[in-house]
Chains A and B, each alone.
Chain A
């Protein structure tokens, strides 16, 4: 009975949270747009500052989700040995909250955004100002430009987050890894940080919609699986992907057992 009540309270909290977001988000967008305009002369500095602000906003969001018992995630979780400079960060992708959680933990990070979202009139300047990169969309050959753009962001000194599966992970599993993350790490010769993300019970996966939060409260955790220097494998993105993909599968098998 108490569990049932808690579940309904959490569902109510989700509605309140979404309502608050819909009300406050336009204010946030206006502030970001204003800052984007003010700092337009130096795109690198602008991206760094806006990323730091975004990370703070995501930290607040995760704190709020914790207070309302929708999800529990401590962004202050210690991630040892993270590189100080530019790096490519990859992770499995169990829930929609992965991007915000990783950004909160990293203190800001650029990512590849789907063209349909990147080209939306009001959002586009903000995403560009934050240093995000437009994805290839349906044309596989546009990936060349994406790789070049990601390389530029790494030159700016910003970490770059890529989910190598390209979409959310299948339930309890792992999709096939694409090669973009590994290719850019090899070309830019920057460390490849492999993060693990768990969310138990899983929420905002493909099969768990926003307004059906699971019970008990989902706990999200982020850990470092390994950090690779591309040079150790001769900067061969194919070999690096193979090694890292095998490592993630081993980690998942360990979790299952």
Chain B
């Protein structure tokens, strides 16, 4: 499940940010997305947050000190999205 989610997140990153020279599979799950790794910036983060909300129904709160941690890598995004979805399911149930 988490592998599938990671693969989908990688696809969304490439599609949303129009990364022409990057194959989704070439993005390492634990590599940093910002700065040294994939080299994304904060505007990219904003676009990704909108894309994740659209795809997974997960809203990223502005001013959350943990956002940097959540958006560190594909692996941390998998954890973040899984947790948020579980929280939403629990509150609905």
Contact = CB atoms under 8 A, between A and B. Distances in A.
Of B39, B46, B64, most A-chain CB atoms within 10 Å: B46
B43 A183 contact: yes
B60 A141 contact: yes
Nearest to A184: B43
A143 B67 contact: no
B43 A141 contact: no
A180 B47 CA distance: 13
Interface residues of A, number: 17
A139 B43 contact: no
Nearest to A135: B42
Task: Give the dominant DSSP class at A's interface.
Answer: helix
A143 B50 CA distance: 13
A139 B46 CA distance: 10
Contacts of B92: none
A161 to B, nearest CB: 18
Given A144-B62, A145-B62, A238-B18, A139 B41 contact: no
A159 B71 CA distance: 32
Contacts of A178: 41-43
Given A140-B34, A141-B61, A141-B71, 15 more contacts: A139-B62, A139-B65, A139-B68, A140-B42, A140-B46, A141-B45, A142-B62, A178-B42, A179-B42, A180-B41, A180-B42, A180-B43, A183-B43, A237-B43, A238-B18
A-B pairs with lowest CB-CB distance, top 7:
A143-B42, A140-B45, A140-B42, A179-B43, A178-B41, A139-B67, A141-B67
27 contacts: A136-B42, A139-B62, A139-B63, A139-B64, A139-B65, A139-B67, A140-B45, A140-B67, A140-B68, A141-B42, A141-B46, A141-B60, A141-B61, A142-B42, A142-B62, A142-B63, A143-B46, A144-B46, A147-B43, A176-B39, A178-B41, A178-B42, A179-B41, A179-B43, A179-B44, A183-B43, A238-B18
